[in-house]
Structure 1
Amino acid sequence: MGKDLYETYAAAKDIYDRADAAVDFDLKRISFEGPDEELTRTDVSQPAIVVHSLAALAALEEELKG
């Protein structure tokens, strides 16, 4: 979830990197690679969804600015 945004958009990469540093688990690894058992835990899924949403917004803004 979000790996394509991370690899394509600098703004999305920045959001994922900053969020990963702020939490006490490997947010990027779990979001990008799983396993699903970890990603679906509430304490992981809620921050992952927020970060993915912010990264998607940042990617959209980057696209619109050209």
Structure 2
Amino acid sequence: MDEVDPVDLVHPHLPRNFRQRHAGFNRRGLLSPDRQVERLAKDFENQGGFTERLYRVRSTKRRNLK
């Protein structure tokens, strides 16, 4: 009997090379929720929240139109 790749069981509708790459990211912890939350917190501290960034973009655009 052929060995079944666990990635095929979880995401059978995705292309095989994508599933293998995604599984590799998971094994290395690159898709870890903890790392994602840490990154979001760091981005928020450095760049502000959505409203702050939106205000900056719109203000810059208005200044450039005048």
Calculate the TM-score normalised by the size of structure 1.
Answer: 0.30
Give the number of the structure whose alpha-carbon radius of gyration is greater: 2
The answer to which structure has the higher helix fraction is: 1
TM-score by length of 2: 0.30
